Amino acid sequence: MSAIKNSVLWLTGFTAMSKPGQQFVKMMNKRGGRGKGKHGHSSLRIFNYHRVLPGRPRFVIDAIDVQEFEQQVKILTSCFNVCSLEAAIPALQRGELPPNSVCITFDDGYRDNYEYALPVLVKYNVPATVFLTTDFIGAQKFLWHDLVLWAFEVTTMECMTFDELGLQDARLVEQEDREKVAVYVLEKLKTVTTARRDELITMLYDRMAVNSRPQASYMLDWQHIREMSDLGMTFGAHTKSHVILSTLDDEALEEEIVGSKKAIERHLPSPVTSFAYPNGRKDDFDERAKKILRESGFQCAVTTDRGLNDRSQDVYALNRTAAWERNPYRFYGRLLLEGIFNL
């Protein structure tokens, strides 16, 4: 079934990327023939990226190759209306969003967004919103998932038992083995408190006989951010410490949300109006978080739940789509088919 699906996506994308296919897509765009939400209004797709790097490095959170990223941006600009999130949401609410509108977003605030993604975005004159985890910006600190992935990358252990995480004689010999165990560990650590998570990561380093930590920061600094802002990129909040918001008490919850907003506004002249929930699944935030966002001046918040957004969508629980396909034909094919059928 997967092979058939991939073939359909490839064929759709290949056909649409031909000259006659692109002319047909542009004609449909002008007629408003695609990209309608369930209530008949234009819908919005928000793309979610993390890291853009040369090649396909392993043990890196959700990385896409810079050449593949450029192919995707080129496709989006060829037949879709790429707009900023800050402009799209008010237009969506008014029912005035142009057909086939898409937004590009990045989570966390990695330095490679400046080094590799920014030149592509500038080349194609495309705006993007970067959600910053502010405690790590311009600091020699590492997000917890990067620490976990680093340990799995450098360990020389061939197997590991970690009862606290339900691991017994987990194989670490092959890179593929370590990747599978790393994903399992990351998911387990998302379910515990910050203090317990940090304790388990320390134990993980001990069990895997890893005595080193990454040397250079992976994150943006404020000078990078100011330069990106001058080139048309916008910035939203992603909490201070990348904690799962639903695990916090009211005081800590407000500090994570409002504190990250204030940190960005100290460095940039424009108010921060958009927010991304860490991890972003339905169980990772609640109505308390939405209330704080509304009262603090945020206009929207994005999740990691997949789907389109129409005028009826809760603007504090907007859907986002990961850049699912690396092959440009399948990427384009899926983008078209999901826009037609609202999958």
Query: What's the CA gap between 228 and 128, in Å, rounded?
Result: 10
Please state at what angle helix 66-79 crosses helix 19-31, rounded to 10 degrees.
50
Q: Angle CA(170)–CA(174)–CA(177) in degrees, nearest 5?
A: 45
Tell me: the pLDDT tens digits for 136-147?
A: 999 999 999 999
pLDDT at 36: 52
**How many CB atoms are closer than 10 A to CB 22?**
15
pLDDT at 332: 76
Query: What's the CA gap between 101 and 89, in Å, rounded?
Result: 11
Tell me: the pLDDT tens digits for 7-65?
A: 433 344 344 444 544 554 555 455 444 455 444 458 999 999 999 999 878 899 889 99
Beta bridge partners of 234: 129
Structure tokens at 231: 């080139």
**How many CB atoms are closer than 10 A to CB 211?**
8
Closest-CA residue to 101 (of 113, 86, 114):
86
Q: How confident is the model at residue 335 (pLDDT cuts 50, 70, 90)?
A: confident
| Residue 4: C-alpha distances to residues 8, 12, 182, 301 (Å) | 6, 12, 30, 36
Cα dihedral 259, 264, 270, 274 sign: negative
Query: What's the CA gap between 331 and 20, in Å, rounded?
Result: 18
